Every structure is written in C-alpha cells, then in structure tokens.
Structure 1
Amino acid sequence: MRTTDAELVKGCLAGDHVAWETIVRQFHPRIYNLAYRFTGRFDEAEDLTQEIFMKVYRSLTSYRPESGALVIWMVRVGRNHIIDHYRKFKIERSQTGSIEVEYEKAEENPARYASPAQALEQRELSERVHRALLRVSEDLREAVILRDLEELTYEEIAEMLKLPMGTVKSRINRGRAELARLLKRESRG
C-alpha cells in the first residue's frame, strides 16, 4: 500500500489508476474548498476542481517531493489555475459589461443548530462573510483564504506564494481588517 506522496506520484506516473484515485479521494475536498472559497459558486468550484485535477495529472512529472508536501504543490497548482481563471473572467466581464454574481446556498445540517432560526442566522452570516470576502482585493483575499479557511501555516503560505514571511503576515492582517471593515459597513445598512 502506498503511503507517501512520492510513492503515490510514482505510481501515477507508472500508470497505476489506484494511485491516482487515492490522490483524488484524499485531496478533492481540499481543492474543492479552495476553488469554492475563491469563486463563491458551487457549480463553478466543481468545474474548477475538475480542471485543477486534470492540470495536476498532466503536471505530475514536475512534482518534487524534496520541495514539500504534495498537498502544498497541488494547492499551488490550483491557486495558479484559479488566478488564470479570474484573469479570463475579468476580461470577459469587461467585454460584456457587469455580471451579477449568483450566490447559491450551501446545504445546512439542521441538527447542528438548536432551532431553524439559528440555522438561518448562521447561513445568512456565512453568506455575508463570503460576499464581503469576494470584495477584498485579490492578493489580500488569497492570503486570508489560505490562512483562515484552508488553515495553512504562514510558512506554507510564504512558500506557496513565493513571498517573504513578513509580507504574508501583512497581507493576512490587512485582509482581515478589510474584511471586518466591509462587514461592519454592510451591517450598518
């Protein structure tokens, strides 16, 4: 049984479909969450996740185990793909005019809350935070998502973004402050 990232990648490169299925099963939630956090849309996040996995599969020969964990490499590939997607989206948006972003509601587990009212409040809060996060500048949003939602360490973020640790910490702090300001402004009306 393959247990290390290097063995899984080696198996994939040798044509072992079980190794690839293991990678997909193990990392799909992480990659999907990354895509969803950046897009705010379930359908778009699923499409991006599929595209990212195709890109990962085609790029497996460039993974170097000595450079870090497979998940960090995959998140970096995913992040770069999402940035490319956003650039294309911005170009399309500028050519077609304003695009209203649709927000789909996540399925909530009602058992997590004491009442339907609490579930509704939580859903509304989650939507407010997500809408505000999408309005934070891209570089700050990316840092906040990687730290607070993807729970990467400062070191992992610095490595992934190829930035000094101080810049990463600054972006996270500025992103959190911007998010708080946007939420405060929205709550005032």
Structure 2
Amino acid sequence: MSQAIEFWEGFYAEREVWSGKPNALLVREAADLPPSTALDLGCGEGADVIWLASLGWRVTGIDASATALKRAAAHAAEAGVTDRVSWQQHDLSLSFPDGEYDLVSASFLHSPVAGDEERNHILGQAAKSAVAPGGLLLIIGHAGVHPEHGPLPTTAEVLADLALGPDWTVEKDEVVSRPESKAGTGLDNLLRLRRQGLRP
C-alpha cells in the first residue's frame, strides 16, 4: 500500500465528509457546458461526480481511498446516476486512468503526503494529457497559506509547472473569495485551461 493510499484510507476511516454539495467553482464553470465525458481527480465521496452525472455527463471519479469510493458509489446509487459514473482507485503519483475526457477537474489536490514534485507530475503530465482536443482542464485549489499544508502555489506557479504549449489557451486565471464556515473569508485559485483542437 502506497503512502498516499494509507493516509487517505486513514482519513476517511476516521470521518465522513459528505455534504452532498458540489464544489461551487466547479458549478460556476461547468453548469452551462454541454454534457460529455468528465474525469474528477481526487473525487473523495463523490459530490462533484454525482452533480455532473445528474446533468448528463459520463463521469469517472478517481481517489486514493477505497473507503471514499465505496461511499461515493452508495451516494451515486441514491441519486440514481449509477449508469453514468465509474470509480477507480489510484495513487495518482503512481498510476493514472486511461483515456481522454472533455472535462478534467482537479480540485484541492493538496496532500500532506504528496510534495510539489508529485503534484506537478499529476497536473503537468497526467491530467494535461487526459484532456481531449477542445476540452477543458479545471484546476481549483486553496490560495495563500494553509494551516496543514503551509504556503500553497499561486496560479502563476501552477502555470509555470504546467508548461503549456501553443495548443493551450488560458481562459481564466483567478483568485476567488469564498465564505468559510468557521471564520473570515478564504481564497481559492482557479485556472480554466482549454486544449485547442476539434473534438473527434
């Protein structure tokens, strides 16, 4: 068992984090897209996957934790979208799902057991290559300094690590305020990146 799988299995064994609510920035960016194929990296208990599937997307959810994926499958069954979702367990620093997708979503891929090099590999090589021509890569992350993860990369740093070629367009590069449930206002980074080309 890899370090990431061991950590996230322990994380979900100790708590349930299901709210049933999809990521607000994903909703903002994807609500008006025509349903097609999507890949959700680090899907947890599946709220984003289920929301996309409810709109007609065919979605693959990836997480390191088998416990989280089991709960996600149960929630998908309750929502009646089982026929439009699939679940795969991956330590994304070691393995990655096959195929290309019209939407690849990577939300809050911050991990105490994965360093910057691993995250850069996941986003800059694996996630980028999974986007079909004409498709979108959405990268959403906390901004600033996180109490558990320390200083987090800026959008400029993420873009530098991605090393996008001429076949990519940066459609959005934003720092967005979000209400926090505990105190104050938090900040999230958003990158909306379009791979050029025609869909087959």
* Larger fraction in helix: 1
Which fold has the larger relative contact order, with Cα–Cα distance below 8 Å and residues 6 or more apart in sequence?
A: 1
Which TM-score applies when normalising by structure 1? 0.29
* Larger fraction in strand: 2
Query: Rg larger in 1 or in 2?
Result: 1
Which TM-score applies when normalising by structure 2? 0.27
